[in-house]
Amino acid sequence: MREGIEGGYSACSYVGRMVQTATDSKLGDNLLTLRGVQWILGTKDDPYALLLRAASDDPRELGRRIRERGPLSFSHAMAWVTASAEPGEAVLGDARLSPRHPDDRTETAEDADAGAEAMPWDIPVLRKVLPLRDAFVTLDRADYVRLARWAEPVIAGALARRREVIADRYRARVRDLPGEFDLMTGLARDVSAAVVADLLGLPAGRRERFAQLCAGTAGTLDATLCPPRLAAARDLLTSLAEMRKLLGEAVESARTSPGEGLAGELLRAAADDAETGPDDVLAVCVLLAVVGSDTAANLVCETVAALLDHPDQWKLVRADPGLAAAAVEETLRYAPPIRLHQRYAQEDLELAGQRIETGQEVVVVAEAANRDPAVHGDPDGFDIRRPRIRHLTFPEGSPVALAASLARAQAAAAVTAVATGLPDLRRADGVLRRLRSPATAAVLRLPVRTG
């Protein structure tokens, strides 16, 4: 398995270097072509194609329309799509479906060169135009399952020991907030990055840059589905490469001079696992930084927004801050920070009565599946006392799974701090979301005020 991560990274590193050195003209042309194709597909009134455009369409209405097409339908965007809970669980639980395309596992430098000679009328493939290997977000499903098996207990233990430290960070920031502020930039983003830096044991001199890189890599998951503009793509690739380098140095430092940070704890746990090595530790650290920090910040904002939009639920949490964790869990169903999961068939298979061919894309619209009326009573309601909260936001075998405990811990701490420190908080304006972010619907601004 350790060879799977190392091999998967190395096999495509040539492609990554090609992108890093490609001319702005070529990369820009490819990204522009892909954006144009997505826009054209949206004109066919295909709900999934419209969802990928991430324009002004209501994503919840689009999810409902996808669900009406059946348990698994084929989109003009060349993907099988489900917005229903049962087939969604089947897709995400099937070992024959993986975040990595089967071609990417064996691609060589010669293959990449051949792809570079594509004819002018060929439509480029996003995962080849913008490979994101430095982020570790396109590993095999089995890789993520194995990483979680040994890393999750270590992460959970580290978070438990730091629970009060995390709570203190959020309480301290809440005390310093003015009467009117932006919840994302004033609280969620900075504190989330600081908590991850604390967790990883980064030296004080690297933390400011780490926070900047967390912001710079925030669009990673969305870039696997939706082509960014050229400037954003360049910034993303540069930030990912620097983040990987920074955390690689941190892992090496923890190996030679063990400290109290999570990197050192993961290395010690890896030493007891014959199939695990330093590259696996680096992958976990990068995922916590790139996926975990952004997911936690968005979950903080989504939870507070949902509570403020439902005064009866906000009143419950203010009266009993111990309900913060329940509010977070209901938000993971109601307004999840991860809204789409992308998989590729590793072999020919049948699913929900459909024949899926090797290499075909299968997408689970988790936000819509989380509101499937076949599973949830009052699916569009927000109820933190819902007796059984079931959702597909953090599935096993995915790059977001390792971020689950971190996101939950941070969001619960933030909601508790806000409920106790700012009980009269209310919205000051509507939420502003990042453009072209179909996977996360990422929050850019959430203006709020007290009084």
What are the structure tokens assigned to 58, written together?
């209501």
Render pLDDT for 176-204 as a digit per residue (tens, 0 to 9): 999 999 999 999 999 999 999 999 999 99
Domains and CATH numbers, the chain: 2-449 (1.10.630.10)
What percent of the chain lies above the pLDDT cut of 70? 91
Helix, strand, coil in percent for the chain, rounding step 5: 60, 10, 30
Render pLDDT for 352-365 as a digit per residue (tens, 0 to 9): 999 999 999 999 99
Contact criterion met (CB below 8 Å) for 184 and 444: yes
Type of residue found at 82: T
Going by pLDDT thresholds of 50, 70 and 90, the confidence category of residue 15 is very low
Partnered with residue 73 across adjacent β-strands are 81
> Phi and psi for 266 in degrees, rounded to 5?
-65, -40
- The dihedral region occupied by 51, where left means phi > 0, alpha psi between -120 and 50, and beta the remainder, is alpha
Partnered with residue 182 across adjacent β-strands are 447
Spell 434-449 as b/e; 16+ CB within 10 A means b: bebbbbbbbbbbbbbe
Going by pLDDT thresholds of 50, 70 and 90, the confidence category of residue 21 is low
| Average model confidence (pLDDT) across the chain | 91
Give the single-character DSSP code of 402: G
Residue 121 CB partners (closer than 8 Å, separation 6+): none
Type of residue found at 417: A
Give the single-character DSSP code of 324: H
Cα 209 to its chain centre, rounded Å, is 21
What are the structure tokens assigned to 267, written together?
């290395």
Q: What is the pLDDT of residue 328?
A: 98
What are the structure tokens assigned to 123, written together?
């439509």
pLDDT, average across residues 390-409: 97
Render pLDDT for 99-157 as a digit per residue (tens, 0 to 9): 999 998 755 444 444 444 554 557 889 999 999 999 999 999 999 999 999 999 999 99
pLDDT, average across residues 50-66: 89
pLDDT, average across residues 407-417: 98
Beta strand ranges found along 314-369 (DSSP E): 340-345, 349-351, 354-356, 361-365
pLDDT at residue 73 greater than cutoff 70: yes
> Phi and psi for 264 in degrees, rounded to 5?
-65, -40
Please indicate whether residue 397 or residue 119 has the higher confidence score (pLDDT). Answer: 397
Render pLDDT for 159-178 as a digit per residue (tens, 0 to 9): 999 999 999 999 999 999 99
Going by pLDDT thresholds of 50, 70 and 90, the confidence category of residue 231 is very high
Contact criterion met (CB below 8 Å) for 119 and 108: no
What percent of the chain lies above the pLDDT cut of 90? 82
Please indicate whether residue 278 or residue 20 has the higher confidence score (pLDDT). Answer: 278
CA triple 123-100-345, angle to 5 deg:
80
Render pLDDT for 281-299 as a digit per residue (tens, 0 to 9): 999 999 999 999 999 999 9
